[in-house]
Amino acid sequence: MSILHSFQYISHKKQKIYLTVLTVSLSLAAFSVLWSRAAELRPYELPSQKRPYYQQQYQQGYESSPPETAYRNFDYSEYARRVSGLSPQERSKLSQGLQQRMKDAMNKNNYIEVRHYARLLEIVNGTK
């Protein structure tokens, strides 16, 4: 006996309840399928303004530290000349700041920057 034939023997009130439950359950099922495919809304960009996916992916990964060439072109003799005119209190304050920057560079595993700050500390402390 099919479902439709058995549906005839149920009272009219129960038929309404079954139809309501069936309609609600089918609506919820359809809604859940649509909801699961929903995505985040983003502002529309023209194709000429879009960047390829591979460029967007690595855009945020760059560090803000200066490149190695900036340290190669640094004039340490000019820095030594400028530091020589500082008072002892200013030198100790500068030394503390350089030590903190060097520790930060160590935490980032940026050994080029560590070497740069170590050389600046040598100049400030008068060892070179």
In tens, the pLDDT along 2-30 reads 565 665 666 777 778 888 988 988 888 88
The domain limits of the chain are 10-36, 74-125
Q: What is the pLDDT of residues 100-124, one digit of tens each?
A: 999 998 998 888 888 999 999 999 9
pTM value? 0.46
- Residue pair 123/79 in contact by the 8 Å Cβ criterion: yes
Tokens of 97: 């700041």
Q: Tell me, rounded to whole angstroms, the distance of Cα 57 from its chain centroid.
A: 10
Q: Rounded to whole angstroms, how far apart are CA atoms 103 and 72? A: 21
Alpha helices, DSSP H, located in 1-128: 3-7, 12-36, 53-59, 68-72, 76-84, 88-107, 111-125
126 — phi, psi (to 5°)? 80, 20
Q: What is the pLDDT of residues 38-80, one digit of tens each?
A: 667 777 777 776 666 555 554 454 555 555 666 778 888 888 8
